[in-house]
Amino acid sequence: MLKKGGIVLPLSMLPPGKKAVVVDIIGGESIRRRLIDMGIVRGVEILVVKNDVGPLIVGVGEMRFALGFGMAQKILVEEL
């Protein structure tokens, strides 16, 4: 999927150390609300801290969050 000149992919596909911008969130109201409460919204820059066995650790600003693989699949990002 192409958007704004870059490739849009699920957050779960990015390796550690990569930054991306959130393009869209696929899912129902409850997952959207949970991510909004964490500050993960369209246009925000996100850093993948850990993506191996277990949950992904991501950084949004100075905050760090653990996201399950299924939730990370629903966050579409454009790599920076």
Domain CATH code at residue 73: 2.30.30.90
Total domains in the chain come to 1
**What is the pLDDT at residue 2?**
47
Per-residue tokens: 14: 């990015």
Cβ neighbours around 32 below 10 Å, total: 15
Q: Which domain holds residue 48?
A: 2-79
**What is the pLDDT at residue 54?**
86
Do 79 and 7 touch, CB atoms closer than 8 A? Answer: yes
Per-residue tokens: 42: 């369209």
* CA distance linking residue 31 with residue 71, whole number of Å: 8
**What is the pLDDT at residue 5?**
61
Collapsing DSSP to helix, strand or coil, 14 comes out as coil
pLDDT of the chain, 80 residues: tens digit per residue: 545 567 899 999 999 999 999 999 998 999 999 999 999 999 999 999 999 988 999 999 999 999 999 999 999 999 98
